[in-house]
A and B are shown apart, each in its own frame.
Chain A
Amino acid sequence: MARNTLSSRALFLNREESWLKFNWRVLEEAEDSGNPLLERVKFLAITASNLDEFFEIRVGGLLQQLEDGHNATTSDGLTMVEERELINRATHKFVDEQYSCWNEQLRPQLAEQGIRVLAIDELDDESLAFADDYCERELDPLLTPVTVDPAHPFPRVINKALCVALLLRRRRRSSLTYTGVVTVPRALPRLVRLPGHGTSDFIFLADLVVRHATRMYKGYDIVSSAAFRVTRNSNLYLQEEESRNLLESVRAELHNRRKGDAVRMEIESSADTEIIERLGTVFELDRWQIFPVDGPVNLSRLMNVYEEAARPELKFRTFVPRELRLTAKSRDLFEELRRHDVLLHHPFDSYDAVVSFIQSAAEDDNVLSIKQTLYRTSEHSLIVPALISAAARKEVTAVVELKARFDEASNIRWARDLEDAGVQVFHGLVGLKTHCKLSLLVRRDPDGVTRRYAHLGTGNYNATTARFYTDLSLLTADPEITAAVQDVFSFLTAYAEHPNYGPLMVAPLDLAEKCISLIEREAQHAQEGRPARIVAKINSLVDKDVIEALYRASQAGVEIDLLVRGICTLRPGIRGISHRIRVRSIVGRFLEHSRIFLFENGGEPEVFVGSADWMSRNLHERVEVLFPLKDRLLRERVIYEILAAYLADNVKVRFLQKDGRYLRSWQSPAGRSKRPPHGRAAFNAQEFLIALAEGTRSPEDIPAPVQRVASRVSTARVREEEF
């Protein structure tokens, strides 16, 4: 088949549609009665904050481009205008379903469990008195009723800030109506706890503001009132090459982000059409960008219900992550690493080992220098204080990524604190986000030899996300790998490029071409009759070149299993193109974040792990690192424990079909469904991995992988679903 037909638009799915389908999978978890109730609420809150980001970045960027006069065509053949229409239809449908889930399923079920999110007319006298007192004490000092007129223009509406709009009429002068606006400071809690007897009662702050507005607007009748929320374009438009001081530029640009064009407005559906019209004009929104909702306008705040309700029986059972245990002969972690590499699978293996790797380096007088990349750090990161305390006694270098989207404010503060402490702070390379996650120590060991120790990971140095993201960490003293890590740091800090960074693959230098040649090597093995298989676990698959290489490999006979959590624009199962490719997405308790690549390589399997997904931004616009697992035991753990478990999942897995639909393991393409697997037949990979860490299950318990597309060639035993 000629090469260029593989780039035909019929062979690619639409990226935005694919992302929206990912968010549907999360919404499915909110609607899944098999999940604990409060976890379902959390999933719903996550779909809302996911959608916020989608509008802020993707839709904001698209509309900006349309406004600038572009109307390019995407890989799947849609023009931008058509894409906008697609987004219009899909998002409205999605939002309807979100609120349906809240109103018809979660809210009533929570009430049954004694957790009540009440409307103002559902409050009893005691709660009403409490609410009024709360308004007087906490709200009244901070709220100012603004009436819009020529002397009083519309106040600033900050991105995603809660506001209340009112239609007012002067008492005894009922001809004219005025617009009233109250902006609610973000620092006030969005959900207020009410006194409950035997129940946990909450009310949304918006409802209290609406009630209090009557008292604030003296001399007016309130004809109608509604809470609303505006989402703005939040793309950072930085002219990086020109900025003298990157830190100041990001700071200033962060400030400007809040002023971006409005992209969406959510408003209570009970709002008067007059209010909606006026707001639509003020924010220059088209009709489709206005979302009337039957419930709270800030659904993401339901996360507060999850956090404040002290009901562990309605949440996932907590588990104790496995602590790293050194073998008897090793006195400390460094000695252990001199013997062999250590692989950690978070959150099943505790992240504490990584934190103490860096903390002990900070305290150890034998450690001479520490180098660290920081992409997203939580405010309470334990790593940064360790670096700060180490700076007094040793050479500490930090490469801080200031532009980790939405985390910028946190990273800027830490950058300044680090600098003040004497840490050498670098901001990475102009135009390239530092996305790789690396740590490097130089230590004078007891035997007198000075060695390097490194941590390489797929996840950020953030102890919070480490608890609900799955990620892999490698701790190693391997001289080849640690020397290469050193070279990557010199690339990041002084722009000294090396011809290659082997055994590491580094983007934007050689990672893309190396990945493609690994895929092509596998194709070669298949053509020459040797075992050939690829298993890749990533967050997203969008890069055209990689997808075309995978199509060619499938045509050559390579069996390919892709575990893609989020966006996937590859179309599997097309006869003659991708019928040997299966795509799965696992969405469950943990966010699948790790990136793992297995190449069968004719019987000598190679496993790579790292920070890069197969998207253009990872391959060409960021500094990423993929590293090989040189230790055979660690490779086998990844192949026979980790990947095997994910491939055998039949509970949380969704299979991507060639038409873009995602189906559960018990659903058929024709639309018929069997019962979901239960009891012994059900295999939930994430739960299995927890049990493995707790010692109640073992790798032998992993069943064979589930296949949806019955494939001709398969060396592994398969369970075929009959339809």
Chain B
Amino acid sequence: MFVYFLRHASAGQQKLGSPKKDEKRALDKDGIEQCGYIGRALAALGVQVDVIISSPLKRATQTAALVGNEMGHEGKLVMENGLRPEAVFSDFQKMLEKYARQDAILLVGHNPNLREFLGRVISDTGCEAVVELKKGAVAKVEMRRNAGSLSWCITPRILRTLYTAATESSRPKTSRK
């Protein structure tokens, strides 16, 4: 099974002192842009998943919906508490078991625990490999019997840089403006 770990995209500043309100924090303009890049990249790579699973918080569900749309995914978005910011690894593992029969799934969650889940899944020594997950970044993991193996990890910034470089004109700038 392939598991794609996607951290939600940029959603402004944390609203301290009001956790309930913070759950409804929406993606900001940068976040929407990031989702666009990641979604289009996954589509270009021909990524197809059986199901998209997200933390119930708005910034994650919006990320999941936008990225899913770019990928052409039409299934119902599934929300799981095992991806909430406060979930622990055992919650995550229990949740993952439900989807063991799928070919490929996309998970949308938060740091720091999503990074932790990813790190533990790709390490077979019981320790946690150290991986960075920027906002809007996605990592592809191929699950094997003992542990997963990390295939690749891309960030929106990498995509933006590549895209800009690829579309840059090679003509010299003649204007002095």
Contacts and interface: CB of A to CB of B under 8 A. Distances in A.
A binds B: yes
A147 B30 CA distance: 12
Contacts of B40: 156
Contacts of B33: 151-152
Given A141-B62, A142-B77, A252-B46, A152 B29 contact: yes
A187 B66 contact: no
Contacts of A140: 24, 58
A155 B75 contact: no
A148 to B, nearest CB: 11
B58 A141 contact: yes
A155 B65 contact: no
Contact of A187 (B27, B58, B76): B76
B74 A187 contact: yes
B111 interface: no
A183 B77 CA distance: 14
A170 interface: no
B71 to A, nearest CB: 8
A276 to B, nearest CB: 22
Interface in A145-204: 146-147, 151-153, 155-156, 158, 161, 183, 185-187
Contact of A144 (B56, B66, B72): B66
B80 interface: no
B10 interface: no
Contact of A158 (B62, B74, B76): B74
Interface in B49-76: 56, 58, 61-62, 65-66, 68-70, 72, 74-76
A200 B65 CA distance: 31
A156 B68 CA distance: 10
Nearest to A413: B50
Contact of B65 (A142, A147, A151, A259): A142
B43 interface: yes
Contacts of A155: 36, 66, 69-70
Given A156-B72, A183-B69, A255 B32 contact: no
A593 to B, nearest CB: 28
Given A151-B33, A187-B77, A252-B46, A142 B61 contact: yes
A255 B72 contact: yes
Contacts of A467: none
A466 to B, nearest CB: 27
Nearest to B58: A141
A330 B24 CA distance: 68
A632 B151 CA distance: 67
Contacts of A255: 46, 48, 72
A92 interface: no
A160 to B, nearest CB: 10
Q: Which interface residue of B35, B36, B69 has the most chain A CB atoms within 10 A?
A: B69
A431 to B, nearest CB: 25
B138 to A, nearest CB: 17
Contacts of B46: 252, 255
A57 B70 CA distance: 23
A258 B62 contact: no
B80 to A, nearest CB: 14
Contacts of B29: 147, 151-152
A251 interface: yes
Given A258-B72, A259-B72, A185 B48 contact: no
B109 interface: no
Interface string B123-153: 0000000000000000000000000000000
Contacts of B24: 140
B139 to A, nearest CB: 22
A128 interface: no
A144 B34 CA distance: 13
A421 interface: no
B39 interface: yes
B99 to A, nearest CB: 15
A693 B77 CA distance: 45
A151 B10 CA distance: 15
A388 to B, nearest CB: 15
B39 A142 contact: no
A161 B65 CA distance: 13
A143 interface: yes
B66 A153 contact: no
A139 to B, nearest CB: 10
A258 B61 CA distance: 23
A338 B97 CA distance: 51
A255 B43 CA distance: 10
Contacts of B72: 156, 158, 255, 258-259
Nearest to B48: A255
B27 A144 contact: yes
A147 B70 CA distance: 16
Contacts of B75: 187
B77 A185 contact: yes
A146 B36 CA distance: 10
Contacts of A252: 46
A144 B32 CA distance: 8
Contacts of A251: 48
Interface in A692-723: none
Contacts of B35: 144
Contacts of A146: 32, 66
The 6 closest A-B pairs by CB, nearest first: A187-B76, A141-B61, A142-B65, A186-B74, A258-B72, A144-B62
11 contacts: A141-B61, A144-B35, A144-B62, A152-B29, A155-B36, A158-B72, A161-B74, A185-B65, A185-B68, A185-B69, A185-B74
Given A143-B65, A152-B32, A185-B68, 6 more contacts: A141-B56, A143-B62, A144-B26, A144-B65, A155-B66, A255-B48
